[in-house]
Amino acid sequence: MLSHGNLLSNARVLKDYWAWQPGDVLMHVLPIFHVHGLFVAVHGALLNGSKMIWMAKFEPRQVLQKLPEATVFMGVPTLYVRLLAEPGLDRQATRNMRLFIAGSAPLLIETFREWQTRTGHTILERYGMSETAMLTSNPYAPDARYGNQSERRGGTVGFPLPGVQLRVQDDAGTSLPAGQVGGIQVKGPNVFAGYWRMPEKTREEFTADGFFKTGDVGRIDSDGYVTIVGRSKDLIISGGYNVYPAEIEGYINTLPGVAESAVVGVPDVDFGEVGVAVVIAKPGAQVDAAKILAALKTMLANFKVPKRCYVVQELPRNAMGKVQKNLLRSHYGSET
């Protein structure tokens, strides 16, 4: 249950934090049945009185043709990957752009860096969810709350937005120090009132002091930057050890020829759960599953290394570009 107050609060904060300004034009390519396209993109433009270039669907070449008329672009990581595949993407094509924003799914560090090289722009990654709208953002300009830091750090989702309280706690409800991984909890004027006609679920998802348990797992570093490690439901408990898929995926994605990966847990008689890696190769590259597992054994503790690896043509995704790990678990959990 999101109130008008929740949405207006978030839109006002983002207007200031992302420095919406007179003359801004939004290139809108996102579906409007989702928080990202409706509450973040459209509300931002409406509150600022900005023109929108409205695309019925995302076509990379058409976007590049119209991009010189825009100043703000919001997209999911898949859209940035598809734009990078276009030879016409360069500094000239993005010459009038002020801000590129990414969210709704993890942005690979390789995509982050290649975008910088090709366009001269640094993508601003942020974090939010349907229950809360936006929660954190990499800085657009120096943020005095964090020593005037203005760096947009790849692999992080930046700082809690003004007015948002964010903490990381363990299962016992103890707040964790910088660098330690735990459950992310949030509180603020943007957080929803609860689930419609589901009072028991609402009570379960809020702490006694009013923080919403997001279900996301992450950490806050010593500079205040938040990093999302994954969803708590994606956590793999193998032989009693916690394994975070995002950590393993980060290592796999650095290996030669790998475009992207997804790691999921599947049932195992001996360990309860074991990891399975599903990998996409870069165009024209040959990737060997056994060599990936061998490489990981030189990088990670043995309990973190997936027990199986598969190389596939594509990963299943939803409309917002998120990998549907439930489908991967179902498919590979039935294989031996």
For residues 325 and 241, membership in a common domain is answered with yes
pLDDT for 134 equals: 97
Contacts of 179 (CB under 8 A, 6+ apart): 219, 220, 221, 222
State mean pLDDT over 300-324.
Answer: 92
Domain boundary residue, one of 229, 244, 275: 229
Rounded to the nearest integer, the mean pLDDT of the chain is 94
For residues 16 and 153, membership in a common domain is answered with yes
Confidence of residue 242 (pLDDT cuts 50, 70, 90): confident
Q: Would you call 262 helix, strand, or coil by DSSP?
A: strand
Instruction: Please state which of the ranges 241-245, 289-293, 305-309 shows the lowest mean pLDDT.
Output: 241-245
pLDDT for 180 equals: 95
pLDDT for 334 equals: 76
Domain boundary residue, one of 200, 229, 258: 229
For residues 137 and 67, membership in a common domain is answered with yes
pLDDT for 42 equals: 96
pLDDT for 275 equals: 95
Residue 93 has pLDDT above 90, yes or no: yes
By percentage, how much of the chain surpasses pLDDT 90?
Answer: 85
Beta-strand relationship, 159-160 and 165-169: unpaired
Edge-to-edge strand list for the sheet holding 99-102: 51-54, 25-28, 72-75, 99-102, 124-129, 133-137, 159-160
Confidence of residue 310 (pLDDT cuts 50, 70, 90): very high
The model's pLDDT over 318-330, given as tens digits with 9 standing for 90+, comes to 887 889 999 999 9
For residues 254 and 329, membership in a common domain is answered with yes
Number of domains the chain is built from: 3
For residues 178 and 293, membership in a common domain is answered with no
For residues 117 and 217, membership in a common domain is answered with no
Q: Would you call 18 helix, strand, or coil by DSSP?
A: coil
For residues 264 and 123, membership in a common domain is answered with no
For residues 143 and 28, membership in a common domain is answered with yes
Contacts of 214 (CB under 8 A, 6+ apart): 129, 131, 132, 135, 183, 184, 185, 186
pLDDT for 319 equals: 80
The pTM of this model reads 0.86
Residue 3 has pLDDT above 70, yes or no: yes
Burial of 162 (C-beta count, 10 Å sphere; 0-12/13-18/19+)? middle
Better-predicted residue by pLDDT, 298 or 270 = 298
List, in sequence order, the alpha helices (H) in the chain.
4-17, 35, 43-48, 60-66, 77-84, 109-119, 199-205, 245-252, 289-297, 325-333
For residues 22 and 139, membership in a common domain is answered with yes
For residues 224 and 108, membership in a common domain is answered with no
pLDDT for 235 equals: 87
What CATH number is attached to the domain comprising 296? 3.30.300.30
Distances in Å between the Cα of 87 and the Cα atoms of 62, 64, 91, 109, 159 are 13, 10, 12, 20, 34
Residue 308 has pLDDT above 80, yes or no: yes
Q: Which two tokens stand for residue 244?
A: 């975070």
164: left (phi over 0), alpha (psi -120 to 50) or beta: beta
Exposure string (b/e) for 297-328, b if CB count within 10 Å is 16 or more?
Answer: eeeeeeebbbeebebeeebeeeebbbbebeeb
Confidence of residue 336 (pLDDT cuts 50, 70, 90): low
Longest alpha-carbon distance in the chain = 62
Domain boundary residue, one of 178, 212, 229: 229
Please check whether residue 172 is in contact with residue 53, taking contact to mean a CB–CB distance below 8 angstroms: no
State mean pLDDT over 79-83.
Answer: 93
What CATH number is attached to the domain comprising 37? 3.40.50.12780
The model's pLDDT over 25-78, given as tens digits with 9 standing for 90+, comes to 999 999 888 899 999 999 999 999 999 999 988 999 999 999 999 999 999 998
Residue with tokens 């597992």: 293
What CATH number is attached to the domain comprising 164? 2.30.38.10
pLDDT for 240 equals: 82
The model's pLDDT over 286-298, given as tens digits with 9 standing for 90+, comes to 999 999 999 999 9
pLDDT for 161 equals: 98
Comparing CA positions, the residue from 284, 287, 293, 283 lying closest to residue 256 is 287
Better-predicted residue by pLDDT, 10 or 321 = 10
Residue 251 has pLDDT above 80, yes or no: yes
State mean pLDDT over 145-167.
Answer: 97
Q: Would you call 95 helix, strand, or coil by DSSP?
A: coil
State mean pLDDT over 145-170.
Answer: 97
State mean pLDDT over 88-103.
Answer: 97
Q: Find the domain containing 119 and state its range.
A: 4-157
For residues 132 and 184, membership in a common domain is answered with no
For residues 250 and 284, membership in a common domain is answered with yes
Beta-strand relationship, 272-281 and 258-268: antiparallel
